[in-house]
Structure 1
Amino acid sequence: MITPEYCALMARYNSWQNAELSTSLENLSDADLRADRGAFFGSIFRTINHLLWGDTLWISRFDGGQGPAETDLSKTDTTDTTATLAEWTLARGAMDRRILDWANSTKPEDLSGDLTWYSGSIQSEISKPRAMCIVQFFNHQTHHRGQVHAMLGAAGAPMYTTDVPFLPE
Structure 2
Amino acid sequence: MIAKEYVLQMARYNAWQNSQLRKVVKQMDEADLTADRGAPFGSIFGTMNHILWSDMNWMGHWCSDVPSPAVPKAASATLTPTYGVWDAERFRLDGRICIWAQTLSNVDLQGMQSCSSGENKQQISRSVGVCVTDMFNSQTYHRGQISQMLSGAGITLPVSDLMFLPEDA
Per-residue deviation at 1:127? 0.6
Give the alignment of 1:105-120 within 5 angstroms.
105-120=103-118
Helix, strand or coil for the counterpart of 1:15? helix
Partner of 1:40: 40
> Hey, what's the Cα distance between the residues in 1 that align with 2:76 and 2:84?
18
Q: Is residue 2:130 matched to residue 1:149?
A: no
> Hey, what's the Cα distance between the residues in 2 that align with 1:126 and 1:54?
17
Partner of 1:82: 80
Per-residue deviation at 1:149? 1.0
Question: Aligned partner of 1:23: which letter?
Answer: K
Question: Aligned partner of 1:56: which letter?
Answer: M
> Hey, what's the Cα distance between the residues in 1 that align with 2:98 and 2:68?
16
> Hey, what's the Cα distance between the residues in 2 that align with 1:7 and 1:30?
34
Partner of 2:54: 54
Report if the CA contact (8 A) 2:10-2:136 is conserved. Answer: yes
Helix, strand or coil for the counterpart of 1:77? helix
Deviations 1:113-146 (A, max 9, x none): 2100121121222111111111000000000011
> Hey, what's the Cα distance between the residues in 2 that align with 1:156 and 1:28?
11
> Hey, what's the Cα distance between the residues in 2 that align with 1:132 and 1:37?
31
> Hey, what's the Cα distance between the residues in 1 that align with 2:8 and 2:83?
27
Partner of 1:101: 99
Report if the CA contact (8 A) 1:28-1:157 is conserved. Answer: no
> Hey, what's the Cα distance between the residues in 2 that align with 1:44 and 1:20?
14
Partner of 2:70: 69
> Hey, what's the Cα distance between the residues in 1 that align with 2:70 and 2:34?
23
- Which deviates more, 126-135 or 115-124? 115-124
Q: Is residue 2:11 matched to residue 1:15?
A: no
Deviations 1:95-119 (A, max 9, x none): 1011001111110111012100121
Report if the CA contact (8 A) 1:25-1:157 is conserved. Answer: no
Report if the CA contact (8 A) 2:70-2:79 is conserved. Answer: no
> Hey, what's the Cα distance between the residues in 2 that align with 1:124 and 1:143?
23
Helix, strand or coil for the counterpart of 1:78? helix
Partner of 1:166: 164
Question: Aligned partner of 1:147: which letter?
Answer: Q
Give aligned-pair identity as a percent. Answer: 42
> Hey, what's the Cα distance between the residues in 2 that align with 1:150 and 1:115?
33
TM-score, normalization by structure 2: 0.94
Partner of 2:26: 26
Q: CA RMSD in A?
A: 1.2
TM-score, normalization by structure 1: 0.94
